[in-house]
């Protein structure tokens, strides 16, 4: 019987040592008698020097196997976009040959293709080093988020995306047929993460959420990756804000530590998070002379961030105590008030990246709130039944991974931070 063994995967690479790797030709420059290949490897781009005739079928985007000798730094230390490793090749084998040249050029410093072409050919534009750098940073964000929460005793959950009712109970819900019944796609893991606080106390989830956004903007997607956490027992929603600060401090730190070259390539700087100013909603409105609406407009969010950054130097600012009318039914009101909530948003460089707060944990109060909003409490019976059997006082928050990445890197459009964006007009690739 044949047997498949576990054996070490990565060759140890060092200067002057033999090396044998496979990769994809990112760029090919053939001069007289010598060819320079930029080779994409997992997590690195290296240079290969080949002195000899070009093997048939060798093109840009060909997969190749290369043997030779390292003449520079270790591969493991090679940055994604810097050719810190150079290989003098003694053998070069072609493993695949494209049947046509790329319709977009990924070898220039910036992608020259226009907006739609980048996404029409998304599997190709993802090969550009600057685009890869975005996802390198995004991966570090995710790793930092998970590390920070595991260290705080959180359990990672996977809640269902198919359900009977949308968490917010409103519009923007995708509906589908489910074995002869009507089902909806989750707009957020809100209700399930709340239920899980009764069992695991602290939970988080990284997963897709779905919003049937009617309007095309540079900061909305129909499907995005949501970073959610929920924790109990808490004494106040400020504990959730403190958790947010700790998590972002660790996450941003990890990005700075591990993504130096990617940040350099993108011209991005990542702030050190030590303490974040917090302003009540009414005070924030007054500070910027905002309108009398119960929410902050995009322009008001920008004005507030500018104002706070000028005063404190912080690129992050919490806005607290949002009006009840603009927060979902499960939000806890400030005791004795029906207008102010125990809630917050976190703004970063002019854009809201987090929404959070304390939730109602008593069944009677929750059913009353649903009824007061003209919503049908029976539709949420599976939810508030659990409150009756006991949920700890709890709160949490949600962040969009793509929007956070875009703000961190100064990307003009959230789509740049999404592998294969989905919006009103785009369902492929």
Q: Compare residues 124 and 370 and give the one whose CB is closer to a copy of itself.
A: 124
- Looking at residues 42 to 61 of the shown chain, list those that interact with a copy of itself (rule: CB under 8 A): 42-43, 59-61
x-marked contacts with a copy of itself along 131-150 as a string, rule CB under 8 A: -x--xx--x--xx------x
Minimum Å gap between C-beta 156 and a copy of itself is 6
Whether 418 and 402 have beta carbons less than 8 Å apart is answered as yes
What Rg value do the Cα atoms of the chain yield, rounded? 25
x-marked contacts with a copy of itself along 101-130 as a string, rule CB under 8 A: xxx-------------------xx-xx---
| Binding-site member from 249, 263, 288, 370 for a copy of itself (CB under 8 A) | 249
Short-list 319, 367, 364, CA closest to 340: 319
Stretch that binds a copy of itself, among 11-19, 82-90, 94-102, 296-304 (CB under 8 A): 94-102
- Looking at residues 183 to 222 of the shown chain, list those that interact with a copy of itself (rule: CB under 8 A): 183, 185, 192, 195-196, 198-202, 207-208, 210, 212, 222
The dihedral through the CA atoms of 141, 144, 146, 152 has a sign that is: negative
- Looking at residues 348 to 387 of the shown chain, list those that interact with a copy of itself (rule: CB under 8 A): 361-364, 382-383, 386
CA distance 264 to 78: 14
CA distance 396 to 244: 9
What tokens does 276 get? 């974040």
What tokens does 224 get? 């995005």
Tell me 307's DSSP state. Answer: H
CA distance 286 to 280: 10
Asked if 334 is part of the footprint of a copy of itself (rule: CB under 8 A), the reply reads no
Stretch that binds a copy of itself, among 325-333, 369-377, 403-411, 414-422 (CB under 8 A): 414-422
Bond into 356 cis (ω within 30)? no
Asked if 176 is part of the footprint of a copy of itself (rule: CB under 8 A), the reply reads yes
- Looking at residues 273 to 312 of the shown chain, list those that interact with a copy of itself (rule: CB under 8 A): 273-279, 308, 311-312
Contacts of 289 (CB under 8 A, 6+ apart): none
Asked if 410 is part of the footprint of a copy of itself (rule: CB under 8 A), the reply reads no
């Amino acid at each position: 019987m044949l047997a498949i063994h576990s054996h070490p995967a990565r060759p140890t690479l060092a200067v002057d040592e033999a090396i044998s790797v496979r990769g994809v030709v990112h760029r090919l420059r053939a001069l007289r008698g010598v060819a320079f290949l930029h080779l994409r490897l997992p997590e690195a781009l290296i240079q290969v020097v080949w002195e000899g005739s070009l093997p048939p079928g060798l093109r840009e985007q060909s997969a190749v196997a290369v043997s030779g000798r390292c003449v520079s730094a270790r591969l493991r230390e090679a940055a994604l976009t810097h050719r810190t490793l150079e290989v003098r090749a003694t053998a070069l084998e072609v493993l695949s040959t494209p049947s046509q040249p790329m319709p977009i050029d990924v070898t220039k410093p910036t992608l020259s293709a226009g907006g739609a072409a980048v996404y029409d050919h998304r599997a190709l534009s993802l090969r550009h080093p600057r685009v890869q750098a975005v996802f390198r940073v995004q991966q570090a964000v995710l790793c930092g988020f998970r590390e920070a929460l595991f260290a705080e005793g959180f359990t990672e959950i996977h809640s269902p995306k198919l359900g009977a009712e949308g968490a917010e109970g409103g519009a923007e819900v995708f509906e589908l047929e489910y074995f002869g019944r009507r089902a909806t796609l989750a707009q957020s893991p809100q209700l399930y993460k709340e239920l899980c606080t009764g069992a695991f106390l602290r939970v988080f989830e990284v997963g897709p959420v779905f919003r049937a956004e009617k309007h095309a903007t540079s900061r909305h997607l129909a499907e995005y990756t949501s970073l959610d956490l929920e924790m109990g027992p808490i004494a106040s929603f400020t504990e959730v804000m403190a958790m947010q600060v700790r998590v972002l401090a660790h996450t941003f730190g990890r990005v700075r530590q591990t993504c130096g070259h990617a940040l350099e390539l993108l011209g991005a700087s990542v702030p050190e998070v030590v303490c974040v100013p917090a302003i009540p909603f009414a005070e924030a409105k007054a500070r910027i002379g905002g309108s009398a609406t119960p929410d902050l407009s995009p322009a008001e969010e920008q004005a507030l961030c500018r104002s706070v950054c000028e005063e404190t130097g912080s690129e992050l600012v919490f806005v607290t105590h949002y009006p009840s009318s603009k927060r979902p039914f499960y939000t806890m009101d400030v005791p004795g008030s029906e207008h102010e909530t125990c809630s917050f948003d976190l703004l970063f460089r002019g854009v809201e990246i987090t929404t959070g707060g304390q939730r109602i944990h008593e069944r009677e109060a929750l059913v009353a709130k649903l009824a007061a909003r003209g919503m049908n409490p029976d539709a949420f019976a599976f939810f508030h039944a659990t409150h009756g059997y006991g949920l700890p006082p709890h709160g949490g928050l949600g962040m969009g991974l793509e929007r956070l990445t875009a703000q961190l890197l100064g990307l003009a459009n959230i789509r740049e931070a999404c592998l294969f964006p989905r919006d009103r007009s785009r369902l492929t690739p």
